[in-house]
Amino acid sequence: MSTSVRTATARQASRKPRIGITLGDCAGIGPEIVELALKSDRIAQGADYQIIGKYPACTPGHATPETARAAAAALEEAVTLARRGELDAIITGPVHKARMYDIGFRFPGQTEFFAERCGVKNFAMCLIGGKITVALVTTHIPVRKVARALKQSEIVRVGLLLADFLRSRTKTAQRIAVAGLNPHAGESGKLGREEIEIIAPAVLWPSLPRHDFPPRDRRRIRRGPLHVSRSGIDPAKTARISRRRERHAGPSFSSHQSRSRHGV
């Protein structure tokens, strides 16, 4: 290794992590949440935080095309800085999706935006709340479309991505549970056959890590891919809402999203 490479590596290891923060739509709760968080004593002190973007004057609760354009521009600036290596992580405030779509934002959500800008094809939305980690198989679609969107290949893909993500964070064995789609997991097909025809075959896929949980061990399940956004987010919030973090498994930098609630 050359002297210049060693010097650059040592400098990178010694500096504080740099975290960029977008406010989301400035007419929403993003600015308030970010201000309270930065003034609190609950954020990590060993990092440098930077607000990304320029935001127009607005009326709280009234998102406009101008506030949406500012939110979109902040996302573009943040991902550009991250790809240049000037940011190590990004925290994003909530955007108003309807206003974003009105101005031509062509992504279902911010997760998909970061994946496309980073050239990542294999990604998933991942949430961490306390000791529970949840990866979502379906996101940002109406509930009535979830059953048609649910594919065995997607459950396997997200399951493998979640297992890889967990292995990067801990050396302990992964204990992954897969949620059913229908009430009572379909009740042996009487309340829906997705569990029999799609979910169970995916769980038995040879490359997926498997573990049989006797009843006494079910309380120890800490991680799992969930099929519907709402069903995955609620357990993560319940586990520890004050520490919930939303991550995108895939890009080389971290992207956390600050949310008060999240639609399907």
CB neighbours of 147 closer than 8 A, spacing ≥ 6? Answer: 181, 192, 194
Question: pLDDT tens digits for 66-105?
Answer: 999 999 999 999 999 999 999 999 999 999 999 999 999 9
Place of tokens 């006494």: 216
> What residue spans of 51-151 are helical by DSSP H?
65-83, 97-102, 110-117, 146-149
Nearest-angstrom CA–CA distance, 192 and 214 = 25
* pLDDT at 220 exceeding the cut of 60: no
Position 232 scores a pLDDT of 58
Question: pLDDT tens digits for 116-132?
Answer: 999 999 999 998 888 88
What structural domains and CATH numbers belong to the chain? 1-106 (no CATH), 122-246 (3.40.718.10)
C-alpha distances in Å from residue 51, one per residue of 29, 35, 42, 77: 15, 10, 18, 11
Cα-Cα-Cα-Cα dihedral sign, residues 22, 25, 30, 32 = positive
Against a cut of 0.85, is the pTM above it? no
Taking residue 151's Cβ as centre, other Cβ atoms within 10 Å add up to 13
Residue type, position 181, single letter: L
Position 208 scores a pLDDT of 67
* pLDDT at 197 exceeding the cut of 50: yes
